[in-house]
Each structure stands twice: as C-alpha cells, then as structure tokens.
Structure 1
Amino acid sequence: MVKIYLDPGHGGSDPGAQGNGLQEKTLTLDIAVRVRDILVNEYENVEVRMSRTGDVTVSLAQRTNDANSWGADYYLSIHINAGGGTGFESFRHTSAPTQTARYQSIIHPEIALESLFRDRGMKTANFHVLRETRMPALLTENGFIDHATDASRLQNASFRASIARGHVIGLEKAFQLRKKTNSNPRTLYRVQIGAFENGENAIQLARRAATSGFTTHIFQEDGLYKVQIGAFSIRENAEQLAQEARNKGYEVIIVQRNS
C-alpha cells in the first residue's frame, strides 16, 4: 500500500495568492481533490490523505505533523504561483536525499507535459513542508495567478483536470502504481490530431490546438506522444469534433480504444 499525502496550499483565513478574480486556496483544493479522486478510483493499493478537504485554516505545522504521524510515503503540496512570471515549477528541499530528487525528476515533467505550461524547471527551497516532513516531499507551483494567460487557463475546469492528471501520471510512474482492473471496459473514440516521437513537437501542436479553442491532452502510447482533443463513448460525437478540427486545418483520425 502506497500512502500519498496531498496538501492543497492555504485555506480558510489564508487565501494565498490572488489575481484575476481567483484565489489560490480555491484552485489548489480543486486540483488536489481531483488528484485524490483519480488515485482512489483508478488505482490499486493506494491510500490518500489530505491536509484539508474544505475551506479551513490549517497551519503548516499541523499539515506536516499530520503527514508524519500518518506515516505517509510521499508528501505532495499543491500551489499556484504569483509574482509576475508564467509557467510551472516544482521544489524539493535544499538538502533532500537522492530518492527525493529522483521522484521530482519523474513527476515534474509529467505535470509540465499535461498542463502545457512553460517549464520553469525543477528547483530546491527551504519551505516548511519540504523541511519538516519525514518522507520525500514535493511542492508544485502550477501557473501564475497574476498572469492573465495562466489565470485564464486556471479558470477552466478541464484545464485543472489536466493538471491533476499530470500529478497522477507522475505518481503512477514514480511509485509504479497499478491501475484497477475494469471488468466492464467501455469503448472510447479518441479524436487524435498528431503523434510524435519528440514530446516537444506534441507540446507545440497541443498549444496551437488550444489557441484554436480545443481542450487538449497529451499521452504516451506505443512509444509516441499523442495529441488528443477529445474522447467520446459515442462515435457520432467524435466525428463531429473531428470535422470541426479538419475545418480548422488539422489532420485528424478517430482511434477506438477500450478503457
């Protein structure tokens, strides 16, 4: 059993960073809940605990003490940045052991890939939640709330779902989590607009598709980075979106998969 401790930053009387009509505490909770639900519903042998599940005030010491007493295997603190920049970055402690750095090197690129944020890099810091935790810990900064473009994307629920999925994919790879067996798989029709050996090419296409108004998703399959703009249980819905993409100049195929 892998025990993951999720820490949505701020909460209650501490709103965190604010900008463009958004509050950090609300966004971090939304993303963390999505991460929890994906882990619990889709993976075997994983247990999740959260520092908060509502808009309540929790001190930094309360958060790390709770994780330590619970015996978490990993501490993941989710934040939104501010201060005039743009993009995604993550932090481990300045004196973190090699294993913590290895986890960061696995999880960080998956979040960057799924979110399509500019990758600001893997960094170190002496934050309380990284210093006082007895287990490996990572703090993620998912976009800048005071940057108009980042904030516009963070307002989108589908985009926050992509950020959450990136965190989960990273955890899956870092801890070799196994997905639950689905005894009644359903057929999905995926609308795919590209497949590349080079992940950067996939990111560039996904960014272009996002500017065309499509919600994009990048996933790895068969050694390729595939760019998807939709997945439907009804083929007619996939065909409708595919035609819309063709009309905007994209080369489209519909791929049928069981999930």
Structure 2
Amino acid sequence: MKLYLDPGHGGTDGGASGNGLLEKNVNLDIALRIRNTLLNSYDNVEVRMSRTNDITKSLKARTDEANAWGADYYLSIHCNSFNGSARGYEDYIHSNLSDSSLTARYQDILHTEITKLNQLTNRGQKKADFHVLRESNMPALLTENGFIDNPNDANLMKQTSWLQAVAQGHVNGLAIAFNLPPKQNGGGEILYKVIAGSFTSRQNAEERVAYLSRKGIDSFIGTVNISGTTWYRVQAGAFSSRENAEQRLQQVKNAGITDAYIVTEQKTASLEPIMSE
C-alpha cells in the first residue's frame, strides 16, 4: 500500500492557532508519528509525505505529487478552530461520494479506530469539497484532530502521549482498511499487546502501573525507540488471540484508561509472557 501522508499547512501558512500552538506544527508532529509507527509495525507499506519539516507547499503541488506517485490513499492531517468553544474530532471525504463508496468504507474504518483513542468529542463523519479530497485520484480522507483554539483540546495537543495515541489510531485504521501484515521478525506467532499508555517519562509510566495495580490489572513497563525517542510503554497483556486482547483492552478502559490501544507484533525468541485465556 502506498500512502501519501499530508500534514496540512506549513511554512508561511501556519494554519489555525490558539493557546500557544500553531496548527502546522501539530499536524506535522502527528503525521511524523503516523509514518514512523506505520513503518515500524507493518510490512507492504510505503509512505511519502507532502512535507517532513516546516516548508511552504501549495495544495496543487501536494495532490499533483500524490497522483504522479500513484498513491493508494491520501491522508491529510489537520486541526480545527472556530470560536474557542467548539471542540472534538471530525473527518471528511469528498462531497460527491456516496456512503457506499470505497472511500466512505475506508472513512468508516479510520473514524472508528481514531475515535477509540483520541479522547475527543466525536463530531462525526462529514463530507466537503476540499481541494485535497477533490483533486486526488485515489481515495482520500482529511482528519480534523481537535480544536486548537479550545483550551481543553489544546491541552491534549501539548501532551506527547496524546499525540502518539492519535497517531496510533490512524495507524490502526490504515492497517485494518488495507489489511497490512505485521512486520515479520524471524518467524513465530503474532502477538496482540494491550498498551495501557505510552510515555516519554518513566515516572509517568510507573504511576500508570501503580494505578492499574490498584484496579486489579497487572502490567509492566517496556521500552520502544521511535525516531530516537525512548517511549515507556505500559503493557497490560500479550495475547495470541485478537478477541482476547480486545477484551483486556475493554477491561483497561473500564478502569478509566482512555489512551489504551492494541499493537500487533511478531513474537520473538524472548520469554515474554503470552496470555491465551
């Protein structure tokens, strides 16, 4: 699958602003996390980005590039703004498309997966005549990941754990929509790991483990390196069955952990505990 990933705005076009944040920067942060997480976790995927730093690039240049490359999917990352009181997540496909179109089916999947993790009010699935949706030759989706001028949404945007969770939601949706195979690391069975939070601070991870323990859920801290940054992941189980992993995920969410998610990995030769109940 060839993904054209488009962090909205950039350079002289800052996009929306509010609460000390610029949309162009938030968009790029989320998009880079999507790219890195996707490439680190799945095979049979290529990613090309409209920008990987703070440059100015026209909308036409973006869609022309995606079309010339022959991308299978166009994903545009944005944040919203309105009047300071509006908040939440919404996504868009082109207004001319039917609800039964392939693009709409992809929207259904990504919307479901993103809203599982983003801790934002769900404003629904929408349609619009945006340039990147109209001029791209492939199925396309534009996501609006919160309102940057709303203090509550903006506070989330300032948290690295939230940015990573939003990226993971996009990745999970893409993996399901395009049936992406998990990376193969030397053979062995597939593991579905329940991650009950991912932090750049080990202390925050330890506090999460202690909280889960009080709720009767065993967990431990593992580390993963993404683009030179060490993340402390709180793992609350590893299962050979996706269904069982989903059940544990729901248990973790019922305990009040809203940023939990499942990652799919290949079992290695290490003696990591596997749960099959």
TM-score by length of 2: 0.72
Counterparts of 1:166 and 1:243 in 2: how far apart (Å)? 25
Quote the residue 1:174 is aligned against.
177
Counterparts of 1:244 and 1:112 in 2: how far apart (Å)? 24
Q: Is the Cα contact below 8 Å between 2:197 and 2:205 reproduced in 1?
A: no
Counterparts of 2:77 and 2:217 in 1: how far apart (Å)? 35
Q: Establish whether residue 257 from structure 1 lines up as the match of residue 224 from structure 2.
A: no
Q: Establish whether residue 115 from structure 1 lines up as the match of residue 111 from structure 2.
A: no
- In structure 2, relative to structure 1, the CA distance for the partners of 1:245 and 1:256 (3 Å cut) is closer
- Pick which of 55-64 and 174-183 moved more: 174-183
2:33 counterpart letter in structure 1: R
Quote the residue 2:141 is aligned against.
138
2:66 counterpart letter in structure 1: A
Quote the residue 1:92 is aligned against.
93
Deviation at 1:144, TM superposition (A): 0.4
Quote the residue 1:242 is aligned against.
209
Counterparts of 2:181 and 2:213 in 1: how far apart (Å)? 36
Q: Of residues 183, 186, 189 in structure 2, which corresponds to 1:183?
A: 186
Deviation at 1:163, TM superposition (A): 0.4
Q: Establish whether residue 48 from structure 1 lines up as the match of residue 13 from structure 2.
A: no
Counterparts of 2:155 and 2:2 in 1: how far apart (Å)? 33
Over the residues paired in the alignment, what is the CA RMSD in angstroms?
Answer: 2.8
- In structure 2, relative to structure 1, the CA distance for the partners of 1:100 and 1:230 (3 Å cut) is closer
Uncovered stretches (5+) of structure 1, i.e. residues with no partner? 189-219
Task: Tell me the secondary structure at the aligned position of residue 185 of structure 2.
Answer: coil
Quote the residue 1:14 is aligned against.
13
Counterparts of 2:205 and 2:123 in 1: how far apart (Å)? 35
Matches within 5 A, 1:19-38: 19-38=18-37
2:91 counterpart letter in structure 1: S
- In structure 2, relative to structure 1, the CA distance for the partners of 1:241 and 1:118 (3 Å cut) is closer
Counterparts of 1:238 and 1:139 in 2: how far apart (Å)? 32
1:257 counterpart letter in structure 2: A
Q: Is the Cα contact below 8 Å between 2:74 and 2:138 reproduced in 1?
A: yes
Quote the residue 1:147 is aligned against.
150
Q: Is the Cα contact below 8 Å between 2:133 and 2:140 reproduced in 1?
A: yes
Q: Is the Cα contact below 8 Å between 2:161 and 2:198 reproduced in 1?
A: no
Deviation at 1:252, TM superposition (A): 2.7
Q: Is the Cα contact below 8 Å between 1:230 and 1:241 reproduced in 2?
A: no
Q: Establish whether residue 228 from structure 1 lines up as the match of residue 199 from structure 2.
A: no
- In structure 2, relative to structure 1, the CA distance for the partners of 1:230 and 1:50 (3 Å cut) is closer
TM-score by length of 1: 0.76
Q: Deviations over 1:18-66 (max 9, x none)?
A: 0000000001001101111111121111000000111000000000000
Counterparts of 1:256 and 1:170 in 2: how far apart (Å)? 21
Deviation at 1:183, TM superposition (A): 3.2
Percent identity, please.
Answer: 50
1:252 counterpart letter in structure 2: I
Counterparts of 1:60 and 1:162 in 2: how far apart (Å)? 27
Counterparts of 1:114 and 1:63 in 2: how far apart (Å)? 28
Quote the residue 1:72 is aligned against.
71
1:14 counterpart letter in structure 2: D
- In structure 2, relative to structure 1, the CA distance for the partners of 1:239 and 1:18 (3 Å cut) is closer
Quote the residue 1:161 is aligned against.
164
- In structure 2, relative to structure 1, the CA distance for the partners of 1:257 and 1:71 (3 Å cut) is same
2:87 counterpart letter in structure 1: T
- In structure 2, relative to structure 1, the CA distance for the partners of 1:252 and 1:100 (3 Å cut) is same
- In structure 2, relative to structure 1, the CA distance for the partners of 1:184 and 1:152 (3 Å cut) is farther
Q: Is the Cα contact below 8 Å between 1:10 and 1:25 reproduced in 2?
A: yes
